[in-house]
Amino acid sequence: MASYMRNFRGSCHCGALGFSFQTALPIAQWSVRACQCGFCRAHGALTTSDPAGRLAFHVGEAELLQRYRFGLKTADFLLCRRCGVYTGAQIDTDHGAFGIINILAMTPVPAGLPTAALADYSSESASGRVERREKRWTPLEKVV
């Protein structure tokens, strides 16, 4: 049986920022991560990505896009200036552009998600972090 790409959508609360995530993975096989950094814990974020999938972020109102870089400053975390929701993150490298989504910004949040794995990346170097993201994050259609 051939697998096919399913499209999942999400957005911030007010709808100014959104995303389209395509994956052939069944929901029960998604890699769900609960990063333990202060930013992700404060946002209650659960993230996912699929290196064989596709991701596009959409910005309806450019002035509401807040990019935030912290720690090693290797990725842009995308937040809405109006409603404060963290929708995902992106990185642009010599090998392409990649991103992750905050599952809790999906509409609706899919049923049947696996339990989130706690993730601690605090011991990574900047180059190690970029390398991991290039391997594990979803290819982006374009950087916003």
Q: Count the Cβ atoms, other than its own, within 10 Å of residue 126.
A: 11
DSSP secondary structure, 82-96, as one string: TT--EEEEEEEETTE
Give domain limits for the chain. 7-123
Residue 79: closest CA among 63, 65, 91, 61: 65
pTM over 0.85: yes
Place of tokens 């995303």: 19
What is the Cα gyration radius of the chain?
14
CATH label, 7-123, candidates 1.20.120.550, 3.30.70.141, 2.170.150.70, 3.40.50.620: 2.170.150.70
| pLDDT tens for each residue of the chain, 144 residues long | 457 999 999 999 999 999 999 999 999 999 999 999 999 999 999 999 999 999 999 999 999 999 999 999 999 999 999 999 999 999 999 999 999 999 999 999 999 999 999 999 999 999 999 999 999 999 999 899
